Chain A
């Protein structure tokens, strides 16, 4: 049973560019949440997708957007990248909008230069 997978593992982008990160949830899970984790800090909630709709959103600007597909996989898009967007981006999957525990992927390390 595959766990949560994310791609790519690492990514280097230039300020102002756009990036798309991908996530496949754990088998049987229907909810995907995205987090940003800066170095030395805890995860910061970006948003959550359930039934192909954004259900909750954290304190992130509209430059951060997402999508969930019918197979429950998800994408995180970040436009007009800033240096401060450099972080580890974590995807977590769960059942029923994360009522219980969430299972995390290994993350995508984004570096903006």
Chain B
């Protein structure tokens, strides 16, 4: 069965420090991987995706993510955190060899402290 795990409910980072939000996945075929961000009382905003190619994917607002096939991980990273990055982050996966339904993680609350 397909699944996504975000092992940390909350991540706290000081402003200016690098941040990492973790995501691991399980699919039977090759994965399409996505990161979305959600601000309070708002819909989800697309950040970046991995489909194929370079394992390091760059996205919006200075975020990037590294695809690691052997560890089945797709961690979200940013070299220098901003207070405005504080939000809820969701990882999602789809098995490209089957249907198009996205499987979502439970979300990680990112708190950036000034």
Q: Which residues of the partner chain B approach A98 to less than 8 Å between Cβ atoms? A: 94, 100-102
B71 an interface residue at 8 Å Cβ cutoff? no
B63 an interface residue at 8 Å Cβ cutoff? no
Main secondary structure of the interface of B (DSSP, over half): loop
Count class of interface residues, chain B: 20 to 34
A97 an interface residue at 8 Å Cβ cutoff? yes
- Quote the shortest CB–CB distance from B35 to chain A (angstroms): 10
A100→B68 CA distance, assembly (Å): 19
B51 an interface residue at 8 Å Cβ cutoff? yes
Q: Decide if B43 touches A42 in the complex (CB within 8 Å).
A: no
Q: Which residues of the partner chain A approach B104 to less than 8 Å between Cβ atoms? A: 42-45
- Further pairs besides A101-B34, A101-B49: 6, Cβ < 8 Å: A42-B104, A56-B99, A92-B44, A97-B100, A101-B46, A107-B43
